[in-house]
Each structure stands twice: as C-alpha cells, then as structure tokens.
C-alpha cells in the first residue's frame, strides 16, 4: 500500500540500510568552511557569466557518485541522494563560494536541487539548450554591483566528458541576449541559440568538460545544455549534482531556512 511505502521512505533507518553515507542531522545549517582556492570566481562570473573551479570538498565526489549509482540500480531517482548529510556538505561549501567577496546572504540556497545520472547507453542526455531564467526585464535580475540574483552550481561527481555527456555553455561575451534579453521564439530565427551561434566561427566559443570534483558556477542568463554521449561499451554514466542560489527578493526559496 502507498501508506506503507511512504512510511518506509520517511524512515531514516531505511536509507541507512541502503548506503554507507550519513543521515543524522535535522536539517541543513549552511555553516561552511572557507574555500581557499576560489579567488577570482566572481571576477570570472562578471566577465564570462560562468567559471570552472575545483574546490577542496569535505566529502569525496566519487563516494557520492557511487551512492547515486546504487540508488539508481534500486529504482530510485538520482535526486534521492539529497537525503544524505554529505550532499549538504557540498551545498554548504558551494554556498561559501557564492558568498566569497560578496555581502553575506545576498544569494542563498533556494532548494532547487537536482542530481543526475545520465547513461548514454540508455539514450539519455541532459537538458537541451536553455537559460535557467528568462525575466521580463533582464537588468532587474542583477544586483547593482553586477552580480546575478540567481546562479547555479553544477558539480561533476564523476568525470563529465564528451563521451558520457558533459555540460556545455556559451560565454557571456559570445551571447547577444545575455544582458539585452531575448525570447524562445525558434520560428522567428531570433531564438537565443540562433543569435549566439550566428556563424561557423561562433561555435568555437562553446565550452566545457569537467573532471570529477570540478564545479561550474553560472548565472541564470548563461545558455547551457547537457550533451548526448556515446553508447560505446566502456562509457559509464555521467553523475552530477546541481543546486541553485538566489536573492530571495528575486526568487524565494522553496522552503523556509528554519524548516528542517
């Protein structure tokens, strides 16, 4: 019965029996240690709209990737990994990077969190090209200092390569609609991708694979997508974690920070 299944899922012991990860805390506290190697992150964000970095994570990305794979094998969606404390260690430390050299609390975790296990051998791929947010007035979605009011941290828990599906982005400088705004009217020929990739040379601006543990921080205006990988026998799934941070005045968190 559904009631028994729900009771099982809400039981911490059920999840402890599935994994060697921890499930002890009442809720996230967002008390992260400083990241020593993130200097220049916001400078790169202002210039390109995104940045790649390799933080010194408290937990091992590969361990989280193994547990995502285990959940998928048992029939659970990858995002069920968020029941474990180690996921929140990653989110806490991503929050520290978001706040680095910025006024504390400008952008907070809004609980828009997804885990991915993309298996090319099953024909899977990430999202097609898109922007995370299309505000009516683009300029209003940035702070006075130029920082975005919404950004995403995308963490490669496994290697993310062209073979197993990596994240691709079009940098701010190569994207006419990044600051000026645009719409998704494909039929008009003025959709974001057509404008950004207007000639053959512009395709050379597209970037980027990441090794396990790497993180891509990008704003809500960055055009990005997950590629379709190869179905060759040696290719393993791409496993990643994405979490969004926003100014509550721009987009409120899904849950109150006071809620466990």
What CA–CA distance (Å, rounded) separates 68 from 27? 20
Q: What is the pTM of this model?
A: 0.89
pLDDT in tens, 145-202: 888 999 999 999 999 998 999 999 999 999 999 998 887 666 666 788 888 888 888 8
Note the pLDDT of residue 260.
Answer: 46
pLDDT in tens, 124-149: 998 899 999 999 999 999 988 888 99
Residue 238: strand, helix, or coil: strand
Neighbour order of strands in the sheet with 50-53: 50-53, 215-219, 150-156, 238-246, 108-118
Summarised one tens digit per residue, pLDDT across range 75-119 is 999 999 999 999 999 998 998 888 876 655 589 999 999 999 999
Q: In whole angstroms, how far apart are CA 232 and each of 111, 185, 195, 236?
A: 35, 36, 34, 9
CB-CB contact of 106 with 150 (8 Å): no
| 13-52 confidence digits (pLDDT tens) | 999 999 989 988 766 565 555 665 566 777 888 899 999 9
């Amino acid at each position: 019965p559904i009631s028994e299944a729900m009771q099982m899922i809400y039981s911490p012991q059920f999840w402890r029996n599935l994994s060697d990860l921890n499930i002890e805390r009442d809720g996230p506290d967002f008390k992260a240690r400083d990241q020593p190697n993130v200097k220049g992150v916001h400078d790169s964000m202002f210039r390109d709209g995104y940045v790649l970095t390799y933080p010194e994570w408290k937990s091992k990305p590969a361990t989280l990737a193994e547990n995502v794979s285990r959940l998928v094998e048992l029939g659970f969606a990858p995002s069920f990994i968020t029941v474990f404390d180690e996921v929140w260690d990653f989110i806490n430390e991503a929050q520290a990077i978001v706040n680095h050299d910025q006024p504390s609390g400008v952008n907070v975790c809004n609980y828009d969190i997804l885990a991915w296990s993309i298996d090319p051998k099953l024909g899977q791929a990430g999202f097609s090209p898109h922007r995370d947010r299309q505000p009516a007035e683009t300029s209003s979605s940035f702070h006075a200092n130029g920082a975005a009011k919404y950004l995403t941290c995308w963490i490669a828990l496994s290697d993310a390569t062209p073979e197993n599906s990596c994240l691709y982005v079009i940098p701010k400088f190569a994207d006419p609609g990044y600051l000026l705004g645009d719409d998704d009217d494909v039929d008009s020929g003025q959709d974001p991708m057509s404008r950004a990739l207007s000639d053959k040379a512009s395709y050379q601006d597209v970037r980027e694979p990441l090794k396990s543990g790497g993180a891509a921080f990008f704003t809500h205006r960055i055009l990005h997508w997950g590629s379709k990988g190869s179905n060759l026998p040696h290719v393993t799934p791409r496993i990643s974690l994405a979490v969004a941070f926003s100014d509550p005045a721009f987009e409120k968190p899904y849950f109150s920070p006071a809620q466990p």
